[in-house]
């Protein structure tokens, strides 16, 4: 099944991806980066799944209950129409912690017309389908176990018979729960009550969003998705809930995105602040503070959702991969990379936090000052850049830009918080040197654009961020020229490539975040009509749930990369807001 044909549910601990055929084909328990329980998504024969599906031929479509993360799949057959409601209870307390201690997946079948013969297939495969999972089937429950992991399925049918009929107005309920080692009856899980509580929560959460406009449905769906990608026990955000969905079908650009990138999380926070969603921002700042104070100048570009530093990359050669794209990877070797832009992103979000919250504590202040000092010493060193090159290290323009941002925001913090011990004069001197270097050595005067790196002629979409961080105004001739060069060189069918060439095998697709950057630039340059035309074109590539992957094939519109992708929806939110 195409990745485009999946919806997502979750409880801010983990998620499940559910296809239009009623099959849960991806789920990791108990948290985002745990080993998979269902992984049919990356191995359709051996990965494991849990399907509820009509026996006879059908058509189906998916939609969310309005302003919620509750998914409805409607099956139409010759004999009737039946709805499948999927949700994971999320009933947070005042600290955003889910009061449902163990993740549960509730699946409700409701026959709306006639009667429908159904069947279920429950085939979990613990630990990325490595080794055998023991299945014990009884009339009342099914128990799946491996080593010290256990999961149970209960329902109001005879589970030792996989086929059953649902008649008009009848309901059949299934609950899948992980971590409890004893059987519980269906009544214990209070599906109807949890459904109402979860629905009420999502509806009240979306009511906090500050936006009314043409793209309200797209913006709200993006915000709901970003909330699903938050890990409420710590406040961290994952970049995407999947691993190894290829950026190029049949190629090797297959990465594990189930971790917290400092950059992605900061971009998410900026979007949440603009939407008026302050509690999520506070929770992340609490997580980031803990990590930054612990690691200081050794802060990494990415972490596990609880702040784990070590994320070793491993290839699972026994899995066939999505679309036969190998290898399947778990862990991410990029966690050891040097990417200088993260210092700017950290200082930028802390400056935003102070704007809204007023202050930071002494320990955090000392660490932020040490990060600025580190930037002053290291800004000219080569790094892997925003696109995480694994061998091709350069003096990237974007890395230089964000080093300038780090010092610039540090100067702002020093002024607003009266950091009398800050070496203001020296910081200003280094910031001016970085600025001069970018304007001289990262600018192609002959062709009129900011380049990917110093003394390099490559066009790179990250140059679109130069005005967004206030380095130059949007009406600066160099900005205007760069935007047009990006359009002419990297834009095709409304989608923007990150760059033209890199070190990896295969050709990647249009990068959605870059496409939204272009739209935001056009909007802020005053070209609103052109920006709206571009946005409408990009939105036409989304699935019917208004969800996006990381990239889109520029020739046929196929979804590429991990899905759903936070970066894409962050960019969408910001470009929609820029049109107001």
DSSP-assigned letters across all residues of 116-144: EEEEEEEE--HHHH-S--EEEE-SSEEEE
CA distance 439 to 445: 10
Q: Reduced to 3 states, what is the DSSP secondary structure of residue 292? A: helix
pTM over 0.85: yes
| C-alpha–C-alpha distance, residues 75 and 336, integer Å | 47
Q: In the structure encoding, which two tokens stand for residue 550, read together?
A: 């990381």
In sign, the C-alpha dihedral spanning 471, 475, 478, 479 is positive
Bridge partners of 262, per DSSP, are: none
pLDDT at 505: 57
- 3-204 domain in CATH 1.20.1440.230? no
What is the reported pLDDT for 503? 52
| Series of mean pLDDT values for 10-residue runs along the chain (580 residues) | 97 98 98 98 98 98 99 99 98 75 94 98 98 95 93 96 98 93 86 97 95 94 97 94 94 93 87 89 91 96 96 97 96 93 95 88 96 98 90 92 98 96 98 98 96 94 98 98 97 95 70 97 97 98 98 95 97 93
- Can you state the percent helix, strand and coil of the chain, rounding each to 5? 35, 25, 40
For residue 502, the model assigns a pLDDT of 63
What is the pLDDT at residue 332? 96
What does the pLDDT read at residue 183?
Answer: 81
DSSP class of 24: E
Could you give the residue ranges of the DSSP H alpha helices within 157-261? Answer: 191-206, 216-228
Residues 375, 339 contacting (CB under 8 angstroms): no
């Amino acid at each position: 099944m195409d990745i485009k044909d999946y919806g997502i549910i979750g409880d801010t601990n983990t998620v499940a991806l559910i296809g239009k055929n009623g099959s849960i084909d991806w789920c990791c328990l108990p948290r985002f980066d745990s080993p998979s329980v269902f992984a049919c998504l990356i191995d359709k024969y051996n990965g494991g799944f849990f399907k509820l599906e009509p026996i006879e031929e059908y058509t189906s479509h998916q939609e969310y209950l309005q302003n919620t993360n509750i998914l409805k799949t409607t099956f139409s057959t010759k004999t009737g129409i039946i709805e499948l409601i999927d949700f994971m209870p999320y009933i947070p307390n005042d600290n955003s912690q889910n009061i449902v201690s163990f993740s549960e997946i509730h699946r409700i079948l409701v026959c709306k017309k006639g009667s429908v013969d159904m069947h279920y297939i429950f085939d979990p495969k613990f630990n990325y389908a490595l080794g055998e999972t023991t299945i014990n089937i009884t009339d009342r429950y099914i128990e799946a176990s491996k080593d010290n992991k256990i999961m149970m399925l209960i329902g109001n049918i005879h589970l030792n018979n996989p086929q059953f009929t649902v008649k008009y107005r009848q309901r059949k309920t299934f609950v899948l729960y992980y971590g409890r080692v004893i059987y519980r009856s269906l009544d214990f899980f209070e599906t109807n009550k949890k459904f109402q509580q979860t629905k009420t929560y999502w509806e009240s959460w979306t009511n906090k969003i500050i936006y009314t406009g043409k793209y309200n449905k797209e913006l709200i769906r993006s915000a709901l998705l970003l909330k699903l990608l938050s890990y409420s026990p710590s406040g961290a955000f994952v970049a995407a809930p999947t691993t190894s969905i290829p950026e190029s079908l049949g190629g090797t650009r297959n990465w594990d995105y189930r971790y917290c990138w400092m950059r992605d999380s900061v971009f998410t926070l900026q979007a949440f602040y603009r939407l008026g969603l302050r509690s999520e921002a506070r929770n992340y700042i609490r997580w980031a503070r803990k990590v930054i104070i612990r690691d200081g100048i050794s802060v990494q570009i990415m972490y596990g959702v609880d702040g784990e530093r070590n994320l070793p990359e491993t290839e699972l050669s026994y899995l066939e991969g999505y679309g036969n794209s190998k290898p399947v990877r778990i862990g991410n070797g990029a966690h050891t990379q040097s990417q200088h832009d993260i210092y700017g992103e950290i200082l930028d979000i802390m400056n935003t936090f102070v704007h809204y919250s007023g202050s930071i504590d002494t320990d955090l202040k000392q660490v932020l000052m040490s990060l600025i000092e580190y930037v002053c010493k290291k800004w000219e060193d080569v790094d892997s850049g925003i696109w995480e090159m694994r061998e091709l290290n350069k003096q990237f323009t974007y890395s230089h830009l964000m080093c300038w941002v780090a010092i610039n925001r540090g100067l702002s913090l020093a002024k607003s918080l009266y950091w009398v011990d800050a070496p203001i004069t020296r910081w200003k001197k280094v910031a001016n040197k970085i600025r001069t270097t970018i304007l001289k050595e990262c600018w192609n005067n002959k062709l009129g654009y900011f380049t990917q790196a110093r003394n390099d002629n490559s066009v790179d979409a990250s140059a679109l961020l130069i005005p967004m961080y206030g380095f130059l105004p949007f009406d600066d001739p160099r900005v205007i020229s760069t935007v047009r060069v990006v359009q002419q060189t990297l834009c095709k069918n409304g989608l923007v490539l990150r760059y033209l060439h890199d070190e990896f095998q295969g050709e990647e697709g249009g990068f959605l975040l870059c496409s939204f950057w272009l739209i935001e630039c056009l909007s802020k340059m005053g070209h609103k009509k052109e920006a709206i035309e571009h946005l409408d074109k990009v939105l036409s590539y989304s699935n019917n749930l208004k969800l996006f992957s990381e990239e889109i094939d520029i020739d046929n519109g196929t979804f590429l990369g991990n899905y759903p992708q936070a970066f894409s929806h962050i960019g969408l939110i910001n470009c929609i807001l820029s049109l107001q």
